[in-house]
Amino acid sequence: MSRCSKSIAETLTYNPASTCHENLVSMLSSLTSKGVTEVMGSHLHKRFPDTTDWKVFGSHFDSLTEKVDGARGWYSIKLPGESMTESNAESTESSVELEIVTNSTGVVWTPTQTVEDHEIYAEDAGLRRIALMDTRCFGEYVAKGKCRTCPLAGSCQVASFSKIAQFAAELDAETEKALLPPEPVVEEPEVQEEVQQEETSAPEQENPALKEGWKVMKSVITTICSKCEESIPSGSDCINIRGKGNFHMGCAE
């Protein structure tokens, strides 16, 4: 049995791109890899942002640990997969299907925090928030330049991790869009256009008495008959005589 110390707890990192449950699983897995079997809830809660709801954190923490009898405040680590007696009795087909579903979600990558805030800010969350409000470059962490000597480098590096999730979401959206089947192209029939052309030219074919220089047309705008001086409504048929103007169908001579 090995209990988590304060120095070991300080090596744990919080990933803002992951959920509360995923961060707890990652931290507890890190502890078990170091041989730690028991931990206090406060050890892990201190690694979370100050705004983390204790009730939400506690519910996930209780599902991953088990209270140690006779040791107040200590919990033994019980990660998913440690008590799988019933699951091991499932059929081979079910196991293969579960493995396929798990692999289809991709690889989980947890960024590692490599720098810490200055001890003045690390111990006083209120002072740290005040300092961050006056920092314009917050979240633009780089491993070179002024970031190496910045007292808020740790918080800035963690904030930059959140951009990774944003970029990944944008890439996923573009990938899903590219995988969609192309929309079917509907070709408009050309028959309608031919009919319209026939209808337009019909009056000219139906009127064999048209003289040279006469032309049957539809009035684009309301115009005046050059004979009776009455209006020819727009859209109605009329006869255009070259050099004389437009006429009602019965007014042309």
Q: What would the pLDDT profile of 189-233 be if each residue is shown by its tens digit?
A: 665 554 444 444 444 444 546 787 788 888 778 888 888 888 888
In the block, tokens 């090596």 appear at: 11
Show the tokens assigned to 232: 């020819």
pTM: 0.34
Mean pLDDT of the chain: 75
CA 169/CA 246 separation, integer angstroms: 66
Average pLDDT over residues 45-54: 89
Which pLDDT score, from 0 to 100, does residue 75 have?
A: 92
Band of pLDDT at residue 161, cut at 50, 70 and 90: low
Percentage of residues in the chain having pLDDT higher than 90: 9
Domain spans of the chain? Answer: 6-82, 119-178, 208-253
pLDDT at 210: 76
Report whether 1 contacts 35 (CB < 8 A).
Answer: no
| Domain topology for 208-253 | Wheat Germ Agglutinin (Isolectin 2); domain 1 (3.30.60)
Contacts of 156 (CB under 8 A, 6+ apart): 135, 137, 138, 139, 140, 141, 147, 150
Mean pLDDT of 27-32: 88
- State the pLDDT confidence band at 170, using cuts at 50, 70 and 90: confident
pLDDT at 158 exceeding the cut of 70:
yes
- Describe the crossing of helices 20-33 and 54-64 by its angle, rounded to 10 degrees: 50
Polymer length of the chain: 253
- Tens digits of residue pLDDT in 50-109: 888 888 898 889 989 999 888 888 999 987 654 434 444 343 333 333 333 444 445 555
